[in-house]
Amino acid sequence: MNTATKLSGFALGLAAVFGTAYGVGHLTDPVTPAADTRHEPVDADHGADPHGGSDSHGGDPGGAAHLPGGLLVSDRGYTMQPVDAPTGQFAFRITGPDGAAVTGYEIAHDKRMHLIVARRDLSGFRHVHPELGADGTWRVDSPLGGPGVWRAFADFTPSGGEALTLGVDVTVPGQLQPRPLPAPAASATVDGYTVTLAGTPQPGRTSQLTLTVSRDGKPVTDLEPYLGAYGHLVALRQGDLAYLHVHPEGVPGDGRTPAGPAVSFAAEVPSAGSYRLYLDFRHGGAVHTAEFTVLAGDAPAAPASTPGTRTTPTVPTPTADAGHGAPGHGHN
Ligand SMILES: [Cu+2]
């Protein structure tokens, strides 16, 4: 897909966002007939859904086929609704196209629902698995770690439907101390583990990211499967918290995927810019989360720096990786 097509798709996506925001579902309005000469047919309102969605209304009411996950609170007829909950608990439900709470979900990566929360300044991150009540309400001990505005992402697949990630803002009252996004770095430490990152995500194409886990200077070669994989990688874009959930290449027990120290991912980011990466891995009977800031593509460098102040990415640039054409990518 060429840049112009990508851009036009993005523009349609924006139109869809505003259309949704104002309750107007007419994705076709911004597209004049003349535009057809500039667009591929796939960018028209029909057939724009790469997932081949089951929408029977002949349109794309959510209009989100071109958007990364997590930017919309309502997409393709499904809506995420927070529910009042006792202190210390977080509850929500998903309503379906008929307006009723959804109670049927497919299991994906061992769970029917993955709830990811991050504070809007990207300083907090949790990935938890709520319990589903008979009335369609999901409940979990609150993962919200402190004051501020949090984005809560519900990553799920309704029965017979396609995978969706919806997002909603949740405010935790209190004195907020915003934290700047940490500078890009190629290694992170968590719970006594050191995780190094190789690879730089490039917008619009699949890039290989390899994360290598060590402890006390020794490679960890007995990672434990977590949700059916040796690692789960979530990427959030700074600025709007666009959500990408990336699964690694290879699965535990397939006879070719080692249990560490390296876990490789095929990731595609939707644009240049800064992203925060969160790697969940399991070792020693516990789940650990290593965090990284990365600059994707040719993101502009920080303002003029003084000598010795590093503002360029420290992540090694991968060599030509045309061989990593794995089908999996980060777009849910
Ligand atoms: Cu999960």
Quote the mean pLDDT of the chain.
78
Question: What percentage of the chain has pLDDT greater than the value 90?
Answer: 63
The pLDDT confidence band at residue 86, using thresholds 50, 70 and 90, is very high
* Cβ neighbours, 10 Å, residue 202: 18
pLDDT, tens digit, for every residue of 160-172? 999 999 999 999 9
Provide the pLDDT for residue 24.
Answer: 31
Q: How far is the CA of 128 from the centre of ligand 1 (A)?
A: 6
Which segments within 96-200 are labelled E, that is strand? 113-119, 125-128, 131-132, 137-141, 148-156, 164-172, 187-190, 193-198
pLDDT in tens, 14-43: 333 333 333 333 333 333 333 333 333 333
Residue 226 Cα to ligand 1 middle (Å): 9
Q: Is the pLDDT of residue 211 over 90?
A: yes
From ligand 1's centre to the CA of 326, what distance in Å?
A: 22
Cα(119) to ligand 1 centroid in Å equals 18
Give the model's pLDDT for residue 10. 38
- pLDDT band of residue 65 (cuts 50, 70, 90) is low
- Which tens digits make up the pLDDT trace of 279-301? 999 999 999 999 999 999 875 54
Measure 19 CA to ligand 1 centroid, in angstroms. Answer: 31
C-alpha of residue 287 to centroid of ligand 1, in Å? 11
* C-alpha 156 – ligand 1 centre gap (Å): 9
Please state, in angstroms and rounded to a whole number, the distance separating the CA atoms of residues 321 and 201. 11
Give residue 66's pLDDT band: very low, low, confident or very high (50, 70, 90): confident
CA of 127 relative to ligand 1 center, distance in Å = 6
CA of 114 to the centre of ligand 1 (A): 4
User: Do 90 and 139 contact (CB within 8 A), yes or no?
Assistant: yes
What strands lie across the sheet with 232-237, from one edge to the other? 243-246, 232-237, 273-283, 286-296
| Amino acid 28: pLDDT | 31
Distance 111 CA to ligand 1 centre (A): 7
- 257 is written with which tokens? 């995927």
Å from CA of 106 to ligand 1 middle: 13
Q: How much is the pLDDT for 297?
A: 86
pLDDT at 300: 55
